[in-house]
Amino acid sequence: MIAIRGAITVDDNTREEILSSARILLSEIIKSNRLEIRRIVSVIFSATNDLNRAYPAEAARELGITEAGLMCLGEMYVEGSLPKCLRVMVLAETGNERRGARHIYMKEAARLRPEYAKFFAVAVDGPAGVGKGTLAKKLAEALGFIYVDTGAMYRAVGYFCLKENISLTDSKLVENALAGMSLSVENRNSIQRVLLNGVDVTDELRAPEVSDASSKVAAIPAVREKLLITQRKTAEGNNIVMEGRDIGTRVLPDADIKIYLDADIDERARRRLKDMADMGVRANFAEIRRNLEDRDRRDTLREHSPLKRADDAVLIDSTHMSTLQVIEAALGIIYDKTGGLYGIRDS
């Protein structure tokens, strides 16, 4: 038997908001603790006295918790306490499995027990030139999350190897070079900056030769393992939108929302051509398309953490969509997946 505690704040004292918040909290407790509903013994809710438009136990019944004992209580008032707060205690059997409880504190209730605060992660994966960076940045802005571009980390490794004249085809040389490379990322005014051996190299990482080099070093297991540690550490304790090619499958397999962004290769080549033109770089469509094909081949066929859509990722085919339509679609997915806690309703 385990006892799981949790809390969430409710935006408005309405029946819809109280039940929605109760569903979100209970769903996360069930998911995070791998609970079987039939093994839930009781659910006890308490609410501050400014929440009086609905019994949260109704949300438990909507989730199929019908055999457990359900109870709703008023929370003791303490001066200066958190307003519009819904708390819960779930008692559940775990059979013969011995495990501790994962307590869940969401939204403003995270202040009550910061060590148990629930942070949300959005994983955006997809092939080169599909617009992952644009989508992830816009989602982070809309949600108030931190944006993490893992591709920039691989570009930094590629940039380092090019600068040091290290052969990109010699995996052993690249692996040995990692010992002399310190890599970190910082978020300055919601903009990610990449520091290589203490020097900000962000602006140097978009050159075509660096992008090509990043794909080659990304196929080296030692590089991916080194950056995996940095990527996961960046995600700890933050609400984040992280984009790359193996976020949902490898870096953050337990991400709350996984989006796989795709598009026809001709459309991706056109977008890449436009991006380069906007930067004042002259390029050839056929060459860009060929480079994308090569990149796709390397990314999907590499043995270590290949590019692929996670089983639980939602596909957005953006071939015939505008940037705004893609952003709205993604925010709608996030809204649905979080029960309205984040994102916007997809209209």
User: pLDDT tens digits, residue range 29-55?
Assistant: 998 888 999 999 999 999 999 999 999
Select from 116, 136, 169 the last residue of a domain. 116
Question: Distance between CA atoms of 135 and 316, rounded to whole angstroms?
Answer: 11
Interaxial angle between packed helices 208-218 and 150-163, expressed in degrees from 0 to 180 and rounded to the nearest 10: 100
The answer to whether residue 347 scores a pLDDT higher than 60 is no
Supply the angle between the helices 150-163 and 221-235 in degrees, to the nearest 10: 140
Highest mean pLDDT out of 63-77, 176-190, 203-217, 221-235: 63-77
Residues 158 and 275 in one domain: no
Contacts made by residues 263-267, CB under 8 angstroms, sequence distance 24+: 263/129, 263/130, 263/131, 263/317, 263/318, 263/319, 264/319, 265/289, 265/292, 265/293, 265/296, 267/318, 267/319
CATH of the domain at 52: 3.30.1330.40
pLDDT band for position 233 (50/70/90)? confident
Block residue for tokens 């019944």: 61
CATH label of the domain that carries residue 164: 3.40.50.300
333 and 199 within one domain:
no
pLDDT of residue 198: 92
Q: Domain tally for the chain? A: 3
Is residue 57 included in any domain, yes or no? yes
C-alpha 231: how far from its chain's center?
11
What is the pLDDT at residue 72?
98
Residue 288 maps to a domain: no
> Do residues 109 and 24 both lie within one domain?
yes
Q: What pLDDT band is residue 96 in, cutting at 50, 70 and 90?
A: low
Structural domain including 39 reads 2-116
pTM for this prediction? 0.70
Q: Which of 120-134, 253-267, 272-286 has the lowest mean pLDDT?
A: 272-286
Structure tokens at 317: 């085919």
> What residues act catalytically?
5, 61, 72, 75, 87, 105, 113
Beta-carbon count within 10 A of 227 CB: 21
Residue where one domain finishes, among candidates 116, 134, 163: 116
Residue 94, pLDDT score: 85
Asked which of 177, 208, 236 is the last residue of a domain, the reply is 236
